[in-house]
Amino acid sequence: MADVKLPDLKAIAAQALERRKRSGLSQKALADLAGVGHVTVIALERGDGNLRLENAWRILAALGLAEEATGR
């Protein structure tokens, strides 16, 4: 199996927080856009590893960061 470099969760969290603030979105507004609870947005922005990948992906997609998070 080839070595796969996973993206750094703390870096993704920082990007998500910065993008949300730059977009002028509250955590609640972002959660509504992504179809997740606002606690999930808080968890992602803290870099909490105890987060469902599907929900993290929804948040990143709502912010336009999904492709950046994969390093592509």
49 belongs to a structural domain: yes
pLDDT tens profile 3-58: 777 678 899 999 999 999 999 999 999 999 999 999 999 999 999 888 999 999 99
Domain for residue 48, yes or no?
A: yes
Distance between terminal CA atoms of the chain? 20
The reported pLDDT for the residue numbered 49 is: 82
Number of structural domains in the chain: 1
Domain-located, residue 33? yes
pLDDT at 52: 93
Which pTM does this prediction carry? 0.84
Let me know if residue 71 belongs to a domain: no
Write down the number of H helices and E strands in the chain: 5, 0
Residue 72, domain member (yes or no):
no
Q: Which two structure tokens, joined as six digits, stand for 38?
A: 């606002």
Asked if residue 17 belongs to a domain, the reply is yes
Residue 69 predicted with pLDDT over 80 = no
Nearest alpha carbon to residue 34 among 46, 48, 16: 16
Q: Could you tell me the CATH number of the domain that includes residue 55?
A: 1.10.260.40
Domain residue limits at 29: 9-65
